[in-house]
Amino acid sequence: MTISGCLRKMRVSHGADDAVDYTLELCKPGSKTDEVTATLPMNALLSREIRLRPSGKIFCVNCGKGTKKSFSDGYCWRCFSTLAETDMCVMKPHTCHFDKGTCRDPDWGLKHCFQEHALYLARSSGLKVGITRGTQVPTRFIDQGASEALIIGLFPSRKEVGEAEFAISHEMSDKTNWKRMLVNETCDTPFDQCLAHARSLLTPSQQEHLLPSGRLLRFAYPHLSWPSKISNSFNFDKSPLIHSPLIGIRGQYLIFEAGVLNIRSQSGYEVEIEVE
């Protein structure tokens, strides 16, 4: 079976048994509306030999135009430098500048940033603190490859949750070490221990947004075995072909016997996929 089209971040779902299910979708090159041309249920492909061949073309995930280089996971330069969703304040929510009247797209800002956001602790490589829009629960945790996530607070806007995260991040990581995450190396520090400390770093008014008891989510990722180390990370700028059995999926990574591929970072790349 051979399919082709432009890559997008894999779609994920979270079953009642905590199992994570992945679907890879390919979009029509040049399509502005993310018109899906092929769908691949990925969990069923474990142990199968997969061939991924990039065409060398990249199509912006927003405007659909061809671009020589991909910025911030699949945008052309024009979109990357003008859209609100690729502004630095999305990465660093405490730097939200909406109230200064300088939001790149105030309508987008009103719709996406002024709604309920969750503050959470997650166990991916180590324990980390993070934030996400309420509608992105549990997708965000899965995209990071977390084995557990504890929602500890709900805030009315992205800036407010971002300020709480920023206060905690002085003493707790807000990053995932992806190599450790992919070999399933994790710490077993109980959430409770960190939660008390995190709480103490917040102001009384920030503490008012914390939940009396957190909401715990667990995630089990499809895999045959975890790699013992990550010796090779593919990307289509340097790898003209990937041809290897799939042994696992975690976060937005496909884990092949021959190395790993971050699908999210390859969004917009046109590829041909053959399952043997």
Binding site for Zn ion (CB under 5 A): 60, 62-63, 76, 79
**Residue 108: CB atoms within 10 Å:** 14
Nearer of residues 165 and 270 to Zn ion, judged by Cβ: 270
CA-to-CA distance for 28 and 146, rounded, in angstroms?
31
Tell me the two tokens of residue 197. 């400390």
End-to-end CA distance of the chain: 7
Nearer of residues 60 and 146 to Zn ion, judged by Cβ: 60
Pairing of strands 269-275, 259-262: unpaired
Residue 67 Cβ, how far from Zn ion at the closest point, in Å? 7
Nearer of residues 61 and 246 to Zn ion, judged by Cβ: 61
Residue 99 Cβ, how far from Zn ion at the closest point, in Å? 28
Nearer of residues 62 and 267 to Zn ion, judged by Cβ: 62
Nearer of residues 73 and 163 to Zn ion, judged by Cβ: 73
Residue 229 Cβ, how far from Zn ion at the closest point, in Å? 37
CA-to-CA distance for 68 and 59, rounded, in angstroms?
9
Give the list of residues 6+ apart from residue 181 with CB closer than 8 angstroms, or none. 124, 125, 144, 145, 250, 251
Helix (H, G, I), strand (E, B) or coil at 240: coil
Nearer of residues 219 and 269 to Zn ion, judged by Cβ: 269
Nearer of residues 57 and 180 to Zn ion, judged by Cβ: 57
Nearer of residues 72 and 239 to Zn ion, judged by Cβ: 72
Decide if 140 contacts 109 (C-beta within 8 A). no
Tell me the two tokens of residue 32. 């502005």
Residue 266 Cβ, how far from Zn ion at the closest point, in Å? 16
Residue 82 Cβ, how far from Zn ion at the closest point, in Å? 9
Residue 264 Cβ, how far from Zn ion at the closest point, in Å? 17
CA-to-CA distance for 191 and 203, rounded, in angstroms?
20
Give the list of residues 6+ apart from residue 21 with CB closer than 8 angstroms, or none. 12, 13, 14, 15, 41, 43, 222
Tell which residue, 168, 179, 171, has the closest CA to residue 125. 179
| Residue 188: exposure state from Cβ atoms within 10 A (0-12, 13-18, ≥19) | exposed
Tell which residue, 73, 94, 74, 75, has the closest CA to residue 83. 75
